[in-house]
């Protein structure tokens, strides 16, 4: 992301009919086809946005915006988030649009919410046949942007008993896709009553979300 592009994201965006706040940035949730519940964890992103606003002072909206891959407003949002429990499928046109968004400065955070893994890996391979998901080491800046995670991605919610892993797609040296696997950050961002996660677990999830958002805003700025 260039300094000019970052300034564009931080400046008041042009009016968008479905944008919750015209004078702040937000997280875009990806609405996809295939049968998966792209709308899962409805309280997660508002809670994360509140934490970003309160802890960092960055002016962010109170609600996310929902966008499809072919939405012309996709490029107005630096952080694209996707989750769900079922299959995800992109058309040829959607793959092309998402790839263009990512290589021109965008960022996709895919959050494994049990059942997403197989189809997501297939689709991301279609987007980037020239790159592979590679594990992101614990010393990568995304784990140390605002809060320190010396062991890398935190474990939030149990799926198949495996360790949490962070995978990424890098394009010309820039991290364009972050895949949080066997972690389920979104569960930890939800209202406490939804999953009844302990306070320290929810705090780790929120801190990792804050790191991701700030990393995206600052990535590539020298």
**Overall number of domains in the chain:** 1
Kindly tell me if the per-residue pLDDT of 15 is higher than 90.
no
Give residue-wise pLDDT tens across range 125-143.
999 999 999 999 999 999 9
Q: Which tens digit of pLDDT belongs to each residue from 163-192?
A: 999 999 999 999 999 999 999 999 999 988
pLDDT of the residue at 138: 98
Domain residue limits at 76: 3-218
The per-residue pLDDT for range 63-103, each reduced to its tens digit, is 999 999 999 999 999 999 999 999 999 999 999 999 999 99
* pTM for the model: 0.87
In 10 A of CB 114, how many CB atoms?
Answer: 16
The mean pLDDT of the chain is 87
The pLDDT of residue 115 = 85
pLDDT of residue 92: 97
Cα–Cα distances (Å) from 202 to 115, 187, 191, 194, 195, in that order, read 22, 8, 9, 12, 10
Query: What's residue 196's pLDDT?
Result: 76
Helices (H), 91-168: 92-103, 117-127
- Structure confidence at residue 193 (pLDDT): 83
Banded pLDDT at 23 (limits 50, 70, 90): low
Q: How confident is the model at residue 10 (pLDDT cuts 50, 70, 90)?
A: very low
Strands (E), the chain: 28-30, 65-67, 79-82, 107-111, 134-135, 165-171, 174-181
Which CATH number goes with the domain that contains 114?
3.40.50.12140
């Amino acid at each position: 992301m260039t300094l000019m592009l970052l300034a564009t994201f931080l400046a008041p965006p042009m009016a968008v009919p479905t944008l919750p706040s015209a004078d702040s940035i937000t997280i875009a949730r990806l609405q996809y086809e295939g049968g998966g519940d792209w709308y899962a964890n409805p309280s997660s992103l508002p809670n994360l946005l509140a934490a970003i606003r309160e802890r960092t002072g960055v002016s962010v909206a109170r609600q996310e915006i929902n966008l499809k891959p072919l939405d012309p407003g996709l490029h107005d949002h630096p952080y694209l988030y996707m989750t769900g429990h079922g299959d995800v499928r992109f058309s040829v046109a959607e793959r092309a649009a998402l790839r263009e968004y990512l290589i021109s400065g965008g960022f996709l955070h895919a959050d494994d919410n049990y059942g997403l893994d197989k189809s997501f890996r297939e689709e991301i391979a279609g987007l980037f046949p020239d790159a592979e998901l590679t594990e992101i080491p614990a010393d990568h800046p995304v784990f140390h942007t605002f809060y320190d995670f010396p062991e890398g991605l935190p474990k939030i919610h149990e799926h198949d008993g495996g360790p949490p892993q962070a995978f990424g797609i890098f394009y010309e040296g820039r991290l364009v896709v972050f895949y949080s696997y066997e972690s389920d950050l979104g569960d930890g961002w939800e209202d406490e009553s939804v999953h009844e996660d302990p306070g320290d677990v929810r705090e780790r999830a929120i801190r990792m979300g804050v790191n991701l958002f700030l990393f995206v805003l600052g990535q590539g700025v020298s």
